[in-house]
Structure 1
Amino acid sequence: MDFRDYLRKIIHVDMDAFYASVEQLDNPSLRGKAIVVGGSSDRGVVAAASYEARKFGVKSAMSGKLAKRLCPELIFVKSNFDRYREISEQIRSIFFEYTDLVEPLSLDEAYLDVTHNKKGNPSATQLATEIRKRIKEKTGLNASAGISINKFIAKVASDINKPNGQKTIPPEEVISFLEGLDVRKFHGVGKVTQEKMYKMGIFTGADLKKYNLADLEDKFGKSGKHYYQVVRGIHLSEVKPNRIRKSLGAERTFSENISSEIFMLERLEQIAAEVERRLKSKDVAGKTITLKIKYSDFSIQTRSKTLAYYISSKSLLLEEAKNLLYQEEVRESVRLLGISVANLNTEKDSASKAKVNVQLKFPF
């Protein structure tokens, strides 16, 4: 298998500090300041950090308490997802001006396959520049982009010149780029895998390439094949315009720990209402209900039940969440509750996998 048999023109667009940038856009007094969306100085988790906050080491998924310790001047801003969705829809409308092959990963990033695009422009690099310019003009926000032969490399490339930049990895540079790349920057290599690779003497793509498929599968299981292929520029996943959502849910972190089941039921009712809203907005229902409980010591407990029928209404969601809550005794000091619905009634994408055969001279 040779990566040159599977060349596409893929753009990965990633908005820069999206949630925080939206808040700074809407509130000029926050511009140029260290802000985070979500959490607080006492509780909660940071959803997004501005670049001014990142200079202090503040990042998403960090506790608000630690973020405040790192940056005493940090400003906490309440999230406004309706506003983020509004702008995300504006950005996606721009994407569809160029191609129908758009695969959103979240509100702030997406893959675009522009191998055959609506503008008839053979240069994916030029298209990415134009798309970023259009986003800036329409929303006032900056976007970064990665351009390459497949989704894996495009996503890695989009981080290289952030913020407000882009990077193209053309076919003739793919192998040298991957060989020189630190394995921790390989999409899909988490902290645990990174440490394992480092202990094996695997620091770069060139080091990873020394291992054969059998060795990698022995060391990393099913992921071994993925690592073996991507370091050779092979990633067959296509841009899927209709990504199949596997689950949908909502959760809440509380400003104070709760131990009373009455309070928990009140919160679950609110969460069930939000899950119902999200399910109905996507016109889906599900059979598997999961209750998530996070305690003050940050330990997490999940309880699930699969029904014989699909549900989406608040009343049924709440009823099943209650049953799961009472399934066994809840320890004291609950800091988060969540309800998620899986086993959704969505159909699998049956689109055929097409292969694009081209010569190595593939203008980017």
Structure 2
Amino acid sequence: MRKILHIDMDAFYASVEQRDDPALRGKPVVVAWRGARSVVCAASYEARTFGVRSAMPAVRAERLCPQAVFVPPDFVRYKAVSRQVREIFLRHTDLVEPLSLDEAYLDVTAPKIASPSATATAQAIRAQIREETALTASAGVAPNKFLAKIASDWNKPDGLFVIKPAQVEAFLRPLPVSRIPGVGKVMEKKLAELGVATVGDLHAFAREELEARFGSFGARLHARARGVDERAVEPNQPVQSISAEDTFERDLLLHELEPAIVRIAEKAWQASRKTERIGHTVVLKLKTAQFRILTRSFTPEAPPATLQEFAAIALALRDRVDLDPSTRYRLVGVGLSGFREAEESAGQRELFSFETPAPAE
């Protein structure tokens, strides 16, 4: 039986700003650049009471909370604090799987520092974070990652919640089925049509029936409804994708995007040079003025070897967008995915010659 923690820093970016500027404490702080094209990176708990949330347009946040204090993000500072927190995690276990700057899974089944329980380890970690960074973190303790992540959100902020193995079924059954990762509004509606509103409702369905309706995701639903999650905590996970994106000052037509695609491709390409792994698939992401998101991707026979090849594929992907020519776009992103070890890609340049593709969607 594993002992898994999910540690989640409370309103991380906003809390760092409030810590470093006492004048911001107790005030609704929104971490975002001002402007019609900006989105909220983080909101303090004071701002959240007005309905402000991460990823919403900054102009909407300003309407919801006119008295909010807007602070431009400082990711260099946030990364420095994240490294401090990571060092605290590593005192207790080498099995740390970061999910972002402000959250991580920890496997403390066999902790490096003797501890009477996983709960005691979580308490020690939270106390050290508070003492050394003057910030708070919430923690979930459970037998697996799925449950630990739910638990960490249960007593936020600055909280701790424990789900013991014997409590799993009783804890899960009353929860809305939307608490299962991957169950968004569309899937929630499909499940509602089957009379499924809670995890307990879902528990009544056989695995075969769920697989017949939802394929492999049906098998995952069946497992999660029973609190089963066999995923291990995986430290030092290899790079899977690298991308860059930008939101424009004004919405652009498709034929106007070439300079932006080339510029953003250069950012993504430079970032990809910092890893020894090789990306094989080029991805283009577009967001329309109506916030519809489109992606197009292409995997050439040999991975792009130069920025020019990378940008050429991204531009060819733009030509596969078939929306009305009058459609305007507010954001473009370019990325590489399908990363493999360098030796896996060796020799492909000799086997295949590169031509600018006519990529499929």
User: Which of the five TM-score ranges fits, normalised by the shorter chain?
Assistant: 0.7 to 0.9
Given candidates 278, 290, 296, the residue that maps to 2:283 is 290
With structure 1 as the length reference, what TM-score do the two structures score?
Answer: 0.85
Does 2:20 correspond to 1:30? no
| Aligned residue in 1 for 2:196 | 202
SS of aligned partner of 2:109: coil
Given candidates 315, 331, 337, the residue that maps to 2:332 is 337
2:138, 2:152 → 1: CA distance? 6
1:315, 1:23 → 2: CA distance? 40
2:269, 2:173 → 1: CA distance? 47
State whether residues 244 and 346 of structure 1, in contact with CA within 8 Å, keep that contact through their aligned partners in structure 2: no
**One-letter amino acid of the structure 1 residue matched with residue 298 of structure 2:** K
Change in 2 beyond 3 A, CA 1:171/1:25: same
Does 2:15 correspond to 1:21? yes
1:301, 1:25 → 2: CA distance? 39
State whether residues 115 and 122 of structure 1, in contact with CA within 8 Å, keep that contact through their aligned partners in structure 2: no
SS of aligned partner of 2:300: strand
Per mean C-alpha deviation after superposition, the further-off stretch among 294-303 and 96-105 is 294-303
| Aligned residue in 1 for 2:346 | none
| Aligned residue in 2 for 1:105 | 99
Cα distance, 1:160 vs. partner? 0.3
SS of aligned partner of 2:92: coil
Does 2:301 correspond to 1:308? yes
* Equivalent residue runs for 1:312-323 within 5 Å: 314-323=307-316
| Aligned residue in 2 for 1:43 | 37
Per mean C-alpha deviation after superposition, the further-off stretch among 243-252 and 89-98 is 243-252
**One-letter amino acid of the structure 1 residue matched with residue 41 of structure 2:** A
| Aligned residue in 1 for 2:6 | 12
Cα distance, 1:116 vs. partner? 0.7
| Aligned residue in 2 for 1:70 | 64
Cα distance, 1:144 vs. partner? 0.5
Listed as ranges, the gaps of 5+ residues in structure 2 are 343-361
| Aligned residue in 1 for 2:233 | 239
SS of aligned partner of 2:246: strand
Change in 2 beyond 3 A, CA 1:328/1:144: closer
Given candidates 72, 76, 81, the residue that maps to 2:75 is 81
| Aligned residue in 1 for 2:46 | 52
State whether residues 292 and 302 of structure 1, in contact with CA within 8 Å, keep that contact through their aligned partners in structure 2: yes
2:259, 2:85 → 1: CA distance? 37
With structure 2 as the length reference, what TM-score do the two structures score?
Answer: 0.85
Change in 2 beyond 3 A, CA 1:322/1:29: farther
**One-letter amino acid of the structure 2 residue matched with residue 107 of structure 1:** L
Cα distance, 1:331 vs. partner? 4.9
State whether residues 239 and 277 of structure 2, in contact with CA within 8 Å, keep that contact through their aligned partners in structure 1: no
Given candidates 90, 99, 124, the residue that maps to 1:96 is 90
* Equivalent residue runs for 1:147-186 within 5 Å: 147-186=141-180
Cα distance, 1:228 vs. partner? 1.4
| Aligned residue in 1 for 2:216 | 222
2:213, 2:65 → 1: CA distance? 40
Change in 2 beyond 3 A, CA 1:74/1:283: farther
Change in 2 beyond 3 A, CA 1:51/1:41: farther
Cα distance, 1:89 vs. partner? 1.5
1:269, 1:45 → 2: CA distance? 23
Change in 2 beyond 3 A, CA 1:229/1:261: closer
Per mean C-alpha deviation after superposition, the further-off stretch among 109-118 and 310-319 is 310-319
Q: Deviations over 1:154-183 (max 9, x none)?
A: 111011000111101111211211123222
| Aligned residue in 2 for 1:361 | none
Cα distance, 1:146 vs. partner? 0.3
2:111, 2:124 → 1: CA distance? 13
Per mean C-alpha deviation after superposition, the further-off stretch among 276-285 and 147-156 is 276-285
Q: Deviations over 1:335-358 (max 9, x none)?
A: 1111110111249xxxxxxxxxxx
Cα distance, 1:328 vs. partner? 6.5
**One-letter amino acid of the structure 2 residue matched with residue 11 of structure 1:** L
Cα distance, 1:10 vs. partner? 0.3
Which gives a bigger RCO, structure 1 or 2 (Cα 8 Å, sep 6+)?
A: 1
Total equivalences in the alignment:
340
| Aligned residue in 1 for 2:205 | 211
1:180, 1:237 → 2: CA distance? 24
Cα distance, 1:186 vs. partner? 2.5
State whether residues 41 and 68 of structure 1, in contact with CA within 8 Å, keep that contact through their aligned partners in structure 2: no
Q: Deviations over 1:104-135 (max 9, x none)?
A: 11111111000011012241001001111111
- Aligned sequence identity (%): 44
